[in-house]
Structure 1
Amino acid sequence: MALSLCASPASAATAGGVIAWGKQDFAITVPPTAALTGVTAVSAGSTTVLALKGGAVLAWGANNWGANEVPAAASSGVSQIASGWGHELALKNGTVLAWGNDWYGQTDLPASLASGVTAIATSYLHSLALKQNGQVVSWGSRTDVPAAAQSGVTAIAAGADHNLVIKNGGVLAWGNNLYGQATVPAGLSSGVTAVSAGAQHSLALKDGRVYAWGRNNYGQVTVPDAALSDVAGIDAGANHNLAFKTNGDIIAWGSNLVEETASYLLPCGPIFAVSAGENDSFALKENPSAPC
């Protein structure tokens, strides 16, 4: 399950409503009324979803470990969100906020995250943050960060037990490599603009083309033709992926056990952001009720 968000710089829309489909446990695919307009980011966790609206965090789904109980500090001024396995993150004025599940120290924030943070990412049991100096910080069940990721990093993505970052336009990866999810394919040493990590697979975006590697038991690394050009944003779920194109079209592939990727369920565009969860999918559309 990847919990990153890639928004299209080419999209004219900057706010819209959440559209959801897939498995409906905990009413996770039924966004609250407040999330139907004015949302600028969405992040799908394992059982909780976060949305960002006017700098305030919205949360819905299961409330295990208080995941839906957004702290007062996250009611304004938030710029980024990331939803994990019952633990939640928000970024406010360079400071990381965390709440919910703390079984593996997911909400025990390192002191260095009190200021100077520019990006956050989380997954099942660990999280990443990116500092202004390009240093990656990791906490929770996985705390190791290789020397190469201690400076110069510009983007981060956390998988179930592996991580991806971008440095000097190239992809760096570390962690569990049982299925090759941390073995970066040739050709991704430069020109990469986005990365996203699933449970046991990885995605990268280069020149509008999606690259995928790692476990392929659900076809999650078999990239469809539609995702080989003009892609603006990507997000990897546990075993499925979402992407949206520069024209706002949405693409989904991988696991379809609960119809999270079924083509007949995909919302019509234009879509300007996507987030893939464990068995569900989410997208942002400027006017979700507009006819196709």
Structure 2
Amino acid sequence: MGGFGLPRTRFTRLTRRAVLTMTGAVLASALLAPGVAHAYTGYTVSWAGDNTYGQANVPSTLASGATDISAGFSHALAVKNGGVLAWGRNDSGQSTVPATATTGVTKVAAGTGHSLALKNGGVIAWGNNTTGEATVPAAATSGVVGIAAGGQFSAALKSDGTVVTWGQGTTQPSAGNVKAISASQYHLVMLKNDGSVVDWLYNAWKPVPNTVGLPITAIGAGWLSHIAMSADGHAFVWDASTTTIRSMPATFGVNVRAVAIGATYAAVTHTNGGLEVVRLNDLYSVTPPTVLQSGVDRAVMSSDNANVWIVAVK
């Protein structure tokens, strides 16, 4: 995912000038930058290239009122009035919401076959538990402010800036001073208070661009690439195995209010409420349906490695 004002330039090191002139889930996280006001209603839209498991079938009760959303591999979650709503694939019980997650929930995270909810500072988990991804450790039952669900692992961000992980390949990373987390099928990307980004992949740190001191406010973890956004609405994408900033269409990295990335696609919500989606292997711009061409508040993207699937709120 590549350069802000110079869309075809590759950077091996991000400078402050590059980012300010140059894309978590999301499984990607979707934090917002300052932008134009939207008449936000919480209307939830699902744009799915594949509807085998009912990914496009948003519950009718989400015509308004959604306060958080997350898309996993083949299922999605939303929060309305403090309760979790789920749709899509349910072969592991990932879309069967437990009674404990029907009130008091503020955030959700959908993984491949499991789901997470944040309630009163503690994590609730359900669905597939083959590698312990739905067995919440004691450290994640209080003081949690953020959650992320990967393929077969889970993560919780604590109020003291530490990160708790459990499930597949999650030897505890020694990261502190973290302010945001995002998970993909295999990666856990963390944004630190100094603006730096770290990437944890199955018990090993991966190389990342140098963003220390830059005003990074949002991150998104993908399969092969990751995305980040700065406070002034610029975005960039980098290759997950190197520090290379990917070249992107000229419009992609500017006037951005939210970011999202999946396995093979990346998306930004622009400050004018329009959604821009790019296929990463060939930079083909995918035209969203009319309902997502304006008025979008934020969007998240599935980790499906074959199809585009975006859940958005307006």
TM-score range with shorter-chain normalisation? 0.7 to 0.9
1:68-109 per-position Cα deviation (integer Å, ceiling 9, x unaligned): 110111111100000011100000010100000111111011
Cα distance in structure 2, aligned partners of 1:221 and 1:18: 30
1:282 matched to 2:314? The reply is no
Paired AA for residue 267 in structure 2 = L
Q: Secondary structure at the match of 2:53?
A: helix
Paired AA for residue 180 in structure 2 = A
Alignment check: 8 A CA contact 1:41 1:273 kept? no
TM-score (norm. length: structure 2): 0.81
Cα distance in structure 1, aligned partners of 2:213 and 2:169: 25
1:206-244 per-position Cα deviation (integer Å, ceiling 9, x unaligned): 23221111269xxx9442222221111111112211210
Instruction: Find 1:135's aligned residue among 162, 167, 172.
Output: 162
Deviation at 1:176, TM superposition (A): 5.8
Paired AA for residue 225 in structure 2 = H
* Count of paired positions: 276
Identity, in percent, stands at 34
Paired AA for residue 262 in structure 1 = V
Larger relative contact order (Cα-Cα within 8 Å, sequence gap ≥ 6): 2
Question: For 1:43-82, what aligned pairs fall within 5 Å after superposition?
Answer: 43-82=70-109
Cα distance in structure 2, aligned partners of 1:265 and 1:13: 19
Q: Secondary structure at the match of 2:109?
A: strand
Aligned to 1:265: 289
Deviation at 1:29, TM superposition (A): 1.1
Alignment check: 8 A CA contact 2:170 2:203 kept? no
Cα distance in structure 2, aligned partners of 1:89 and 1:261: 32
Cα distance in structure 2, aligned partners of 1:152 and 1:54: 31
Question: For 1:1-292, what aligned pairs fall within 5 Å after superposition?
Answer: 2-8=26-32, 10=35, 11-21=37-47, 22-147=49-174, 149=175, 151-167=176-192, 168-175=194-201, 182-187=206-211, 190-206=214-230, 207-214=232-239, 221-254=246-279, 262-265=286-289, 267-277=292-302, 278=304, 279=307, 280-285=309-314
1:126-176 per-position Cα deviation (integer Å, ceiling 9, x unaligned): 1111011100111111223433x1x21100111222221111222122226
Runs of 4+ in 1 over 6 A off after TM superposition: none
TM-score (norm. length: structure 1): 0.86
Distance 1:62 1:159, change over 3 A: closer
Q: Which deviates more from structure 2 when the two are superposed, residues 243-252 or residues 88-97?
A: 243-252
Cα distance in structure 1, aligned partners of 2:170 and 2:31: 28
Cα distance in structure 2, aligned partners of 1:245 and 1:192: 17
Deviation at 1:269, TM superposition (A): 1.4
Task: Note the residue ranges of structure 1 that are not aligned, 5 or more in a row.
Answer: 286-292
**What RMSD over aligned residues (CA atoms) do the two structures have, in Å?**
2.5
Q: Secondary structure at the match of 2:61?
A: helix
